[in-house]
Amino acid sequence: MLKDMRFKIIPLVVAILTAAVSVQSAVVDDARRMISEGQYSKALPLLQKELKAKPKDGVLNYLAAQCLMKMGDEKSALPMLRVAESRQVADASVILAEKAFGEYRFDEVAAHVDAYRRATAKSGKALPESLQSIQRRAQRAQSMLDRVERIVIIDSIAVNKDDFFKAYKLTSGAGALSPASTLPVASAAVGNSPVYRPESGACAYWAEKADGKSTLMTSSVLTDGTWEEPVSLAENLNEGGDAAYPFLLPDGVTLYFANNGENSIGGYDIFVSRKDEGKFLNPQNLGMPYNSIYDDYLLVIDEFAGVGWWATDRNRLGDKITIYRFIPSEVRNNYEADEDGIADRALARNYRATWPAGADYSALLSEIEALPGEDTAAAGSSRFRFAMPGGKVYTSLGDFANADARGMMQDYLEALADIESTKARLVSLRRDYAAGNLLLADEILRQEKNLEVKRLAVKDMANEIVRTENQGAFN
């Protein structure tokens, strides 16, 4: 009798379980359809009802988490995604990896990638490119997070993206930024990447679009006042991506620019390259806090004002971006990798936290605000004042009648810029010496002697320019 009852109960249990699975399957199908149609608020109650009976079900947790995230409740969604991941729902691992990356928990990304691999081991499903990209970027970003540079950020401002560079206020010695419309040569210049010209105005640097990629270009003024055919600055600067936003220090050697290629952790990252024997070396990522997982670009260092600038959209301000102003340093000094709040330091969340105790930068900021800012002048306009005999003053290369004198003037302007660079270096050295680095004494004396030699040389150059120009006038 009992045996007969057992045989009757087993089919009944199987039928009940089959019906339950069918009901859940129907709920899952309905929920997926609603989610695909954007009906998250309708799908969620259905899933929550099923979850009361099966709180550890991976698929139900994943779908409910999707609804919650779309409805703006990430806090409630994350525990569900973790349950789904533990039940080997591969798509949950993708979302959790993206979330960890976005919150600068770079060391957790690898664990989510491993979870994805375990969930797809039997199916042989390949790691999606998006997850591979996050893994690569997380590895680079973790390396940067271990060596965040300790800098003093004195200010931040929010400006329009389209013409953000107009907010950069530079001394004349640092050169000038201007819109693409001021280019003296025909060029398909890139969007809001400005044209940079050093103080002499004898050359220009910009980003140009060609074959779907942005590359850095340059052109120089010829002795007859016309501009040479533009050439690529260096192919190795692109690194498979787009290069833009160039700035060259007055030393003529150190180039800052932005690139979104293979060594970037976000969109655009800021890189530095230095010229050696006439060629720019392979660029180095400048690291954090300058770079983030978002776009960062146009780093400018005004050695004469003692201030640096860079732009970023890390604060997600819509049509606006943030510009940080900071105090540049000759030597890189990093935070300890295990310092509390290192991610906040890397993101520059509170720039005032970078200030030394009792610091006050209001006077420096006032000086910056008093500078003229964007240079909208076209090539060949007034960029210098050079006194000639008889009270005449030349203000552009076009004023010179003698081609040799015009070429000498270009060299003279570059020599003046070199003097300003040496003076800025002396200011920095003296500041560090006053701060206690007494080992700099010999270097300061050497630079002071070097400065005097350069000053005498430019006096001779000025005399030669006048003589050559006047000689041409009498011939």
Total structural domains within the chain: 3
The whole-number pLDDT of residue 14 equals 41
2 is a domain residue: no
The whole-number pLDDT of residue 377 equals 40
The whole-number pLDDT of residue 15 equals 44
Same domain for 402 and 358, yes or no, is no
Higher pLDDT pick, 64 / 172 = 64
Q: Which of 144, 161, 187 is the last residue of a domain?
A: 144
* Per-residue pLDDT reduced to its tens digit, 79-121: 999 999 999 999 999 999 999 999 999 999 999 999 999 999 9
Residue type, 374: E
Range of the domain at 403: 386-474
Q: What percent of the chain has pLDDT over 70?
A: 90
The whole-number pLDDT of residue 16 equals 41
* Per-residue pLDDT reduced to its tens digit, 42-79: 999 999 999 999 999 999 999 999 999 999 999 999 99
Same domain for 156 and 113, yes or no, is no
17 is a domain residue: no
* Per-residue pLDDT reduced to its tens digit, 30-39: 889 999 999 9
* Per-residue pLDDT reduced to its tens digit, 401-438: 888 888 888 888 888 877 877 777 777 777 778 778 88
Same domain for 355 and 246, yes or no, is yes
For the ranges 190-204, 245-259, 364-378, 443-457, the one whose mean pLDDT is highest: 245-259
Same domain for 224 and 328, yes or no, is yes
Cis peptide leading into residue 328 (ω within 30°): no
pLDDT mean across residues, the chain: 87
pLDDT at 280 over 80: yes
51 is a domain residue: yes
The whole-number pLDDT of residue 438 equals 85
At 426, list the tokens. 């002396």
